[in-house]
A and B are shown apart, each in its own frame.
Chain A
Amino acid sequence: MYKIASKKVLNSFVTQMEIEAPLVAKKAEPGQFIILRVDSEGERIPLTVAGYDRQKGLVKIIFQIVGGTTNKLNQKDAGDYISDFVGPLGKATKVEGLKKVCIIGGGVGCAIALPIAQKLKEMGAEVDSIIGFRNKDLLILEDEFKAASNKLIVTTDDGSYGIKGNVTMPLKEALENGVVYDEVITVGPLIMMKFVVATTKPYNIPTTVSMNPIMIDGTGMCGGCRLTVGGVTKFACVDGPDFDGFLIDFDEAMKRGTTYRDFERHAYENTCNLFKKEAK
């Protein structure tokens, strides 16, 4: 069992938790992920590491409540336990040698992008960050990004905060104005990453994307997380989750992501009904 050391609601859909998992905390690096189960009958879900405290043995996760499992997890409080927490899995984001980087986060993906920005800043790299949300209410981690970036741009789809539009607009503007990055690293919805790649491609700026496909074991055994990368089948859990954005078949990844959409929706509704009943 793994204790939830702290819980913080970041917005109405996104929650942050710190989990006591000393072995994972000791090794975790930005870009890696963990797999957890809430209870003994629970599903295994992958979540990318949002931070860690090696001294205290804590691993930070930030998750969006999208399905049955994340809904169940969100019902837990600090001091409660979850049944399983394993990691760190996957390869860490490659940051060695980077001097000037643009970090682009979308929605809850910002949670994963943040530790990468922090690590780069720590290394002395120049970091420009662009973080995008649907609206002001969904904004998370602005202060943290500010601290980890030389320059921070916030976008919202509806213009309720920061620049109106999506993350590719300021990126495109910068590139058009001759800004050159060693690399662009992007984490967020597949469709956003697809357009980030489309924006950087004409300038041939190396672009790393963090993939989060369906997974079970997370150690290479099931093959559920397979992606087509440069025409070759890769497993996100052992070969990734970071990949060269220019090589990813995003359309295929988006289709594969819908495999259990109906099931997830039902599971989410079921857990909601269950919690409502319990509340009564």
Chain B
Amino acid sequence: MAANMSLKRNEMPTQDPVIRATNFNEVALGYSEETAIDEALRCLNCKNAPCVAGCPVNIHIPEFLAKVKEGDFEAAYQVIYKSSSLPAVCGRVCPQEKQCEERCIRGIKGESVGIGRLERFVADWHNAHSAEALKKPESNGIKVAVIGSGPSGLTCAGELAKKGYEVTIFEALHTAGGVLVYGIPEFRLPKAIVQKEVDALIALGVDLQTNVVIGKTLTIEELFEEGYKAVFIGSGAGLPRFMNIEGESLNGVYSANEFLTRNNLMKAYKEDSDTPIMKAKHTVVVGGGNVAMDAARTAKRLGSEVTIVYRRTEKELPARLEEVHHAKEEGINFAMLTNPVKINGDENGWVNGIVCDRMELSEPDESGRARPVKIPNSEYEIKTDCVIMSIGTSPNPLIKDTTKGLEVNKYGGIVVNEETALTSLKGVYAGGDAVTGAATVISAMGAGKTAAKAIDEYLKNQ
């Protein structure tokens, strides 16, 4: 078949912005079979495949696209599945424009191939059409504990289960999925997709223990005493950061974690939910990452006007391009070069405004990004009844505090050997946000995979 030389990629069908801003159904609707084939035909099958090097788990992209071109979607899925255990998730939440698609040759003159959209299509096609039940591999009788059921934990557990290990996942919350369930909203990642991944692990023989907080209910030492031969820590990022400005304890000030957890995990958006959430008139979200976009778009769907406040410019927003684009379409205001200095409240302790400085960009800082500096006497107040702080997290102390000899860095992140994910303790591995601080789903998955490989090698040599 001839290559499709269109400079533009096939558009992703989406729900109408006006309608979707009032519901929690998925925004992006996915390619049809015809569109998928047409889009795959834009791939030139470059010999050196620069896209593959841009993928944190090195999916053989031209190979899976070749199968899509042929209309053999199941074969395409099998190509992806060799490298990635959560394609339906990653196709939806990876920042592809900074990874595989950034390196796509087609992107030099025109738009890159919609690799992420095709990954999603292939994974959804497989989920809809494949009836083949996963079989539990023959057990090798060796027990491995995985702490946390987010992207790194699910990946590590899956890889080890496929090799015959007896894997138990310990999850602190009542539902598995970690950030995929409590953090990322339904409209971006339907929870049924996450559940399908969890069900697949259970079919592989993984034992899922919810309501167990490692560091509290059980310690890592006790896991070894109970016969686990290796432990993977994928406990996630942890405590939300605040700005330490006046007024952060007023009623109506949330961390993004709390706001999103109430809504996503506890389903507070449903009318009959037992868990309350504030339905504000005008919400201000502080921060510019994916989590900030998720919080803003969630508040919008709960009926609020929303303004995102970020201290740099739109160009520096760390969020995925598509999320920014969708947020704008949904009518969210972007107040760039704006930095909060104080939150005002009424006499009953409720938020009624946020005072901000206007900023300008100066020389780049250590992170290479232009440093925002305050414009003198530029202070102004935004009227608001709800403020959501989305400025990152600091590591959770529960495991560190109860695990003797586990080395952490000055930020509290667990120190590991990057090649093997091995921590300072024998048989204890770690990956994902617990190591790196807040990062992406795909990098956490990559770490889970690295750890699984290292654990397998370690245990084989025991």
Give the interface of A toward B (CB within 8 A). 23-24, 27, 37, 41-44, 68-69, 83-89, 216-217, 219-224, 226-228, 233, 235, 238, 249, 252, 255-256, 258-260, 263-264, 267
Contact = CB atoms under 8 A, between A and B. Distances in A.
A226 B267 CA distance: 22
Which of A85, A223, A235 is the most central at the interface, judged by chain B CB atoms within 10 Å of its CB?
A223
B417 interface: no
B174 A44 contact: yes
Which of A221, A224, A255, A260 is the most central at the interface, judged by chain B CB atoms within 10 Å of its CB?
A221
A216 B262 CA distance: 8
A216 B257 CA distance: 10
B349 A216 contact: no
A84 B266 CA distance: 13
Secondary structure class of chain A's binding surface, majority of residues = mixed
Contacts of B211: 84-86
A267 B257 CA distance: 24
A43 B165 CA distance: 35
Nearest to A27: B217
Given A44-B174, A223-B242, A256-B349, A84 B249 contact: no
B262 A267 contact: no
Interface string B224-255: 00000000000010111010100011111011
A222 B265 CA distance: 12
Contact of B251 (A37, A221, A235, A258): A258
The size bracket of the interface on B is: 35 or more
Contacts of A220: 238-239, 396-398
A69 B274 contact: yes
Contact of A222 (B248, B255, B273, B349): B255
19 contacts: A86-B212, A86-B213, A87-B217, A88-B217, A89-B216, A217-B261, A219-B216, A219-B396, A220-B239, A221-B236, A221-B238, A222-B261, A226-B249, A233-B244, A238-B397, A255-B250, A256-B251, A256-B349, A258-B349
A29 to B, nearest CB: 11
Contacts of A37: 174
A23 B396 contact: no
Contacts of A24: 217
A42 B426 CA distance: 40
Interface of B: 172-174, 182, 210-213, 216-218, 236, 238-240, 242, 244, 248-252, 254-255, 257-258, 261-262, 265-267, 273-276, 278, 348-349, 396-398
Contacts of A221: 182, 236, 238-240, 257, 261, 396
Contact of B216 (A42, A84, A85, A88): A88
Which of A24, A227, A259 is the most central at the interface, judged by chain B CB atoms within 10 Å of its CB?
A259
Given A87-B217, A216-B258, A235 B239 contact: yes
Nearest to B275: A43
A233 B172 contact: no
A88 B218 CA distance: 10
